[in-house]
Every structure is written in structure tokens, then in C-alpha cells.
Structure 1
Amino acid sequence: MKSMVSTAELLEKVRALVRPERLEHILRVAALAREIAERNGLEGDRAYLAGLLHDAARDLEEEELLRLAPPENEVEAAHPLSLHGRAARALAQAWGVEDPEVLEAVEGHVYGVSPSNPIGMALYVADVSEPGRGVNAEIRGLALAGRLREAYAQAVRNKVAYLQGKGVPLHPRTLAVYHSL
């Protein structure tokens, strides 16, 4: 499904909301998501769009995140930054993006997505493994080798272990995805 607004217009909307360093990350994620998608037989343009939008709300003030994506559980209430995926989805919809798989990918890049959403899996893997982060090269390698589901499962396992190690409570959606894999 095509967006009602051009990618160039969306890029400018995102650019207006984020710091330059965040935009660089966003562009690396979008490019990697496209490459991962294409190497796994998916539509690269849809993955690129999801990547372009995924952190659109990441630099917003806490009050704006809460307005765009009111907390749905205790984890979100205690950690408003975790709302940035849902807030980015709200922005994308307001900007005319209608593709449900892309919108779910944008929202789910924080918590995880159902394995039935391969665009979401490509975005999730791209976000955690883009070269600018300096981590998870093995996950990126799996995804680029056409082993997206395996890469995604490893990325979710790593995130759960990291959060547990930090003593951060797991979001119910992250737990659900973790158990589904």
C-alpha cells in the first residue's frame, strides 16, 4: 500500500523533529532496513519508509510523547520514552501513511512485532544492528544472509537479556514476542 505523501516530504517532516545525530541514525536504519528486506524477498521501499519514520518522535519532549501516545500500562507510565514508537506511528498516520504493516513496524520497533510482520522484523533488526551503533554485527549478518527470522529472534533475545540485566521491567508486548519466538 502506498503512502499518500512522498518519501521526500516525510523526510522533511522527520528532519524538523529530530536532532542531526538522530537523523543520521534514522537514515542508516532506513537504508539497512531496505537492504535487509530485499535480501529476504521483501519490498525494500516499505522497509525504508518504516525506517525513515521509526524514530520521528524520539526527540520529542515527554509531555508531547504522552499526548501522542498515552500510556497503556505501568511500564509505559514509568518509562515515557518507551512511547516513542507509538507516538511515531501517530505522527505517520497524521502525515498520511496508511500501510498497516509499516505503521505496525514503526510502533513495534520499541517492543517488538509479531513474526507475521516481516517489514517490522527487518526494521527491528536494522535498528538494533545499524553500523553506527557498533554492536550486533552478527545479527545484521544473519539478516543480510537471508535469515531474517533467525536474526530477529536473536535481536529480541538480546534485548530481553539486556533489559533484565539492567533491572528494567519488560514491556508486555516484548514478553509476548519473546515467548512467541
Structure 2
Amino acid sequence: MKNKVSIASLEEKVKALVRPERFAHILRVAELAREIARNNGLDPERAYLAALLHDAARDLPEEELLRLAPPKNEVERAHPLALHGRAARVLARDWGVKDEEVLEAVEGHVFGVDPQNGIGMALYVADVSEPGRGVNGEIRELALAGRLLEAYRRAVRNKVEYLQKKGIPVHPRTLEVYEEL
């Protein structure tokens, strides 16, 4: 389902909620997600929309994250910042976004999405590999070369291995996606 909300109005809503550096990151991710989508036969404007919304709740106070997205497991209770994807989904829905694939992408950019959600994979890869981060350039290049599923597999694997190496608990949804891939 196409959205009837204007991108410009959503940009203003997001910009009002995040720090300038975060908004710059969001715009880099949005442009990259658009390009990844285009190079993989997906709708570039839906990918841009998902990326524009993905970190809308990232700079909210912890109490607000908990209100918008009550924790569902111990990892989320211990790390409320992990709720920002689900909280951003709530905001996006409240702002009039109805596209379920886009909403799932927004929520799933933190823990991973079902590989059937191409928009979600494009967003996940764009978020972890946008040039401002200075890492994961090889993942970005794979996605831009039309090899999105391969790029997504690497991105999820890298995240799980990184968290395990640091002794940080891996979210159950991330482990599900990791096993699925």
C-alpha cells in the first residue's frame, strides 16, 4: 500500500526529534537505501521512506522509548536503546505511514528482518554500511552490485559475531534471522 504522507512533512518530524548529527546519518542512510533498492529491483522511494524513519526515536529519552515500545525480553529490558526501532515504527504509524513492509523495515533495522522483506534488507545494509560510519564498505559494495541477500547475510553475521566477541547478549530476533540465513 502506498503512503499518502508527504516525505517533506516526515523529514521535518524526524528532524525535530533527533540531533543534527543523527539527522545527517539518517539522510545518508536514506540515499544509500534508495540506491541499494534501485540496484536490486526494489522500490527506491519505499526504501528511502523506511530509512528516513528508521532512527526517528533514536534520541528520545529512555522513558519515552519504554512507553512507545515496552520491552518484550531481557535484552530489551537491559538495553532500552534497543527499542528505538519498534518505537520509530509506532511514530511512523502515528504519522500516517501504512505500508507494512516499510513499517517492518523500520522496526527490524535494529534486530534484522525476514529475508522476504527486501526493503528491510536494503535499510539494514544501508544503516550498517553508510559511508559516514567508515566500516562495512565491502557489504555496501555487494548490495550496490545487486547482491543484496549476500550483503544482508554478511551484515547479520558480522553483527552476531561482533556482539558475541564483546560478550554482549544477542537479541533473540537477531539470532532467529541469523539462523534463517
Q: Is the TM-score greater than 0.5?
A: yes
* Residues 134-161 of structure 1 deviation map (CA, whole Å, 9 limit, x = unaligned): 0000000000000000000000000001
Q: Secondary structure at the match of 2:58?
A: coil
- 1:176 is the counterpart of 2:163: no
- Once residues 13 and 2 of structure 1 are traced to their aligned partners in structure 2, the CA distance between those partners, rounded to angstroms, is 19
Structure 1 residue runs of 4+, over 6 Å off?
A: none
* Residues 71-104 of structure 1 deviation map (CA, whole Å, 9 limit, x = unaligned): 0000000000000000000000000000000000
- Once residues 7 and 163 of structure 2 are traced to their aligned partners in structure 1, the CA distance between those partners, rounded to angstroms, is 33
Aligned to 2:152: 152
* Residues 85-126 of structure 1 deviation map (CA, whole Å, 9 limit, x = unaligned): 000000000000000000000000000000010000000000
- Once residues 23 and 2 of structure 2 are traced to their aligned partners in structure 1, the CA distance between those partners, rounded to angstroms, is 23
- Once residues 103 and 23 of structure 1 are traced to their aligned partners in structure 2, the CA distance between those partners, rounded to angstroms, is 19
In structure 2, runs of 5+ residues without a counterpart are none
Aligned to 1:9: 9
What is the percent sequence identity of the aligned residues? Answer: 78
- Once residues 23 and 178 of structure 2 are traced to their aligned partners in structure 1, the CA distance between those partners, rounded to angstroms, is 29
Amino acid at match of 2:106: V
Aligned to 1:68: 68
Aligned to 1:124: 124
* TM-score normalised by the chain length of structure 2: 0.99
- Once residues 4 and 34 of structure 2 are traced to their aligned partners in structure 1, the CA distance between those partners, rounded to angstroms, is 20
How many aligned positions are there?
181
More displaced, 1-10 or 77-86?
1-10
